[in-house]
Structure 1
Amino acid sequence: MEVSGWIWAVTVAGIVGLLFFDFWFHVRKAHIPTLPEAAKWSAIYVGIALLFGVGVLVLGGTDMGTEYFAGYITEKALSVDNLFVFLIIMTSFKVPRADQQKVLLFGIVFSLIARTGFIFLGAALINSFAWVFYFFGLILLITAGNMLKPGHDDDGENVVVRLARRFLHTSEHYDGDKLFTIVDGRRALTPMLLVMVAIGGTDVLFALDSIPAIFGLTTNVYIVFTATTFSLLGLRQLYFLLDGLLDRLIYLSYGLAAILAFIGVKLILHALHENNVPFINGGEHVDVVEISTALSLSVIIGVLVVTIVASLLSPKGRAQNAIKGAERHAKSYLEVEDEDPKVQEEVYADLLAEEAVLKALPEKYRARIRDEANFMALLERVHRVHDERVDDPRR
């Protein structure tokens, strides 16, 4: 189904309007979103995406609607995995909690621009060269294999950031949410700009697996664009909503690897069916079973449900989530030395709650935690500092 130019114009205008709204009312003034705020706006953005999908289903037909929902769910799942990397990057750069919203919104905007370019490039390649389906399928299979390797998430110090630190004048400290500051009378880049570069560079790498994945479900450029875009809108709110649960989804990478591998096989089967590569079956198409979009949607939803439920019920997931939470609260407590004593006590109370969870874990997990020397030393340091602050409130 061809989509007219005016529909494209209205869609793009609506998306730009949502981004400006998000910036003006939520990001312009630095603050830490509350859990109810993050939950409300996450639900609103998911609702907008679902309503749009219903509109596509009604106006574009069953096939187009199914393709949209399959693409949206796949891209949304991949975007949640991306949040793990965002968390690592912002932790490594020690981005102030109140300023993380601006970093995330920049990442979303940069990702939309980069992925739009990849979408139209991918569409042009597919229309000109049928062998691209083989290439996309191979990319997804390789990506799926890499996701199964331990520590597949990279750290925040990507090559662009390392080059920026080496050749550009950068400051060691933040200056609010400013991108530039003055150090020793010279204009310098702040870590805020560097973390945005890290997020932006990472977004380009994310596009290399997400775009082939959705092209494996539909070649309709409008569906690819809108499903990808709506999966990214609301990602900022989702980050703050899932921040405490991300570490608990220990099997998510396995589920996403299975989905990418499934779509990779689907692409290769489609490539064989449409084959015109001379050295494969003499350039003639190969009679193979093709996987329908409806089956793809069922597999994607099924794998995600099993993955999430298994993660949430897993004792290992509870242990990992508690360890990461305690580690974050411990580091936060040591960084709030100049804060209001009330803030210090709130962070310390959160740490005690995480420690209570750790103490309630089965013995085999508690034993592993006790073997983590750096983690135990961090907790001991926090308790020592807290005791000193209680004894001397002026500290």
Structure 2
Amino acid sequence: MTEPLWIWGLTILVIIGLLAFDFFFHVRKAHEPTIREAAIWSGIYVALALVFGLTVLLFGGPQMGSEYFAGYITEKALSVDNLFVFLVIMGSFAVPRIDQQKVLLFGIVFALIARTAFIFAGKALIENFSFMFYLFGLILLLTAGKLLAPEKEGDDEANNFIIRLAKKYLRTTDHYDGDKLFTYENGRRVLTPMLLVMVAIGGTDVLFALDSIPAIYGLTTDVYIVFTATAFSLMGLRQLYFLIEGLLDRLIYLKYGLALVLAFIGVKLILEALHKNELPFINGGENVDVFTFTAATSLPVIIGLLVITVLISLYSKRGRVTSVVGSLDRLAHAYLHTEYKRDAAERDEQWAKIQAGEQRLSGFDHDLIKRVLSDTGADWALERAHKLHDESKNA
């Protein structure tokens, strides 16, 4: 690490201070953020990341500055992709909207801790094993392919292995008690669904870290840049969630842009590994004379791929239909999880939202609606929700 310890210490203090400020002034008192509040604070966190990047550019030079911005943009895009999964998890657990901020902040803190551990582990592996760039490149290429694979119908992110174990061996309740992690039921202390949601979010954060850290090490091996780009990409993610929640489902081609970005970085890593080859079974352990991408070249490629796929998504008719279908899918899954509904009035409100969503959907082309419902698996959830509603009405 070339950066002095006092810079590391100051940076960590600033990040902890921002997280503490976020908790005490925004999250501690449960409330639903307005669009205006989310927009202002999202802008503030993006501005802080840009100011930090300009500082790196000024004092570290163009190479270091380009590496930071390339890493920040890549990690930010991957973080936005993570929000899709957070939406599904919180929808499956029917987390009250005013309490979702606490879940998101926990997810950010846990993600930062998990990524920090992977960052230093990755640095140690790179320095001690010459073949790691080959491995990281392969991981990114496989991840890119996984992003393009079709999703399984009826897949419920909340019912993962950890959650099933928690429900089986720990004392849990199916009822929320505000944003408390523990409550008392029949005189016994039990875990609330809020804690189970956080466990699910934390589990997915670990999986996301396995993808994101090889990606950013494909852009820079400076551990300070890796850490700060990752940290600043996570800052403001909570506010961004509430700001673009309605747009997330419209970004239907973002995963293709991310797949191309990860594939590009994976190829870049393998080319650099060949350029600095030390493996005896490749070219006799000698360097291979191949073209390599610089940070200045990588930055416009990453920005271009992401901007193009986002714009295509926003102007696509399929994107508009997918936005409504995605919302309906989460509402249907939440309706199916009857254990998290306190009373009939809450279930009726949930059903009214499903009906309103279906009414909005009726204004689009019927064949397109049918294709999107089938491709996303939302038809499966909606069919089950309608069946459950009919059964409850006839009971």
1:56 aligns with 2:56: yes
One-letter identity of the residue aligned with 1:113? I
What is the aligned counterpart of 2:258 among 236, 256, 260?
256
**Any idea what the Cα deviations from partners look like across 1:157-190, whole Å, max 9, x if unmatched?**
2222221111111111111111111122221111
State the partner residue of 1:181: 183
Deviation at 1:336, TM superposition (A): 9.4
Q: Is the 8 Å Cα contact of residues 272 and 292 (structure 2) preserved in structure 1?
A: yes
1:360 is paired with a residue whose SS is coil
State the partner residue of 1:140: 140
In structure 2, the CA distance between the partners of 1:132 and 1:327, relative to structure 1 (3 Å rule), is closer
**Any idea what the Cα deviations from partners look like across 1:85-118, whole Å, max 9, x if unmatched?**
1111111111111111111111111111111111
CA-based RMSD: 2.9
1:245 is paired with a residue whose SS is helix
Deviation at 1:197, TM superposition (A): 0.9
State the partner residue of 1:289: 291
| Mapping of residues 196-345 of structure 1, within 5 Å | 196-326=198-328
State the partner residue of 1:191: 193
State the partner residue of 2:124: 124
- State how many pairs are aligned: 382
Deviation at 1:70, TM superposition (A): 0.2
Q: Among the aligned pairs, what percent are the same residue? A: 61
1:168 aligns with 2:175: no
One-letter identity of the residue aligned with 1:364? D
Normalised by the size of structure 1, how large is the TM-score? 0.88
2:16 is paired with a residue whose SS is helix
Deviation at 1:380, TM superposition (A): 10
1:3 is paired with a residue whose SS is coil
1:248 is paired with a residue whose SS is coil
One-letter identity of the residue aligned with 1:78? L
In structure 2, the CA distance between the partners of 1:124 and 1:367, relative to structure 1 (3 Å rule), is closer
1:244 is paired with a residue whose SS is helix
State the partner residue of 2:76: 76
One-letter identity of the residue aligned with 1:247? D
1:358 aligns with 2:379: no
One-letter identity of the residue aligned with 1:375? L
| Distance across 2 between alignment mates of 1:114 and 1:364 | 44
In structure 2, the CA distance between the partners of 1:370 and 1:328, relative to structure 1 (3 Å rule), is closer
| Distance across 2 between alignment mates of 1:17 and 1:267 | 35
| Distance across 2 between alignment mates of 1:26 and 1:257 | 34
**Any idea what the Cα deviations from partners look like across 1:310-361, whole Å, max 9, x if unmatched?**
1111111111112233455688899697779xx969x96x777745542331
In structure 2, the CA distance between the partners of 1:336 and 1:183, relative to structure 1 (3 Å rule), is closer
Q: Is the 8 Å Cα contact of residues 175 and 181 (structure 1) preserved in structure 2?
A: yes
Q: Is the 8 Å Cα contact of residues 85 and 154 (structure 1) preserved in structure 2?
A: no
Which deviates more, 214-223 or 91-100?
A: 91-100
> Which structure has the higher relative contact order (CA within 8 Å, separation 6+)?
2
1:32 is paired with a residue whose SS is coil
In structure 2, the CA distance between the partners of 1:174 and 1:70, relative to structure 1 (3 Å rule), is same
1:33 is paired with a residue whose SS is coil
| Distance across 1 between alignment mates of 2:254 and 2:27 | 29
One-letter identity of the residue aligned with 2:285? G
Deviation at 1:373, TM superposition (A): 7.5
5+ long unaligned stretches in structure 2? none
Q: Is the 8 Å Cα contact of residues 330 and 382 (structure 1) preserved in structure 2?
A: no
| Distance across 1 between alignment mates of 2:35 and 2:389 | 26
| Distance across 2 between alignment mates of 1:165 and 1:10 | 42
Deviation at 1:122, TM superposition (A): 0.8
One-letter identity of the residue aligned with 2:171? H
Deviation at 1:245, TM superposition (A): 1.0
In structure 2, the CA distance between the partners of 1:332 and 1:339, relative to structure 1 (3 Å rule), is farther
What is the aligned counterpart of 2:382 among 369, 375, 384?
375
Normalised by the size of structure 2, how large is the TM-score? 0.88
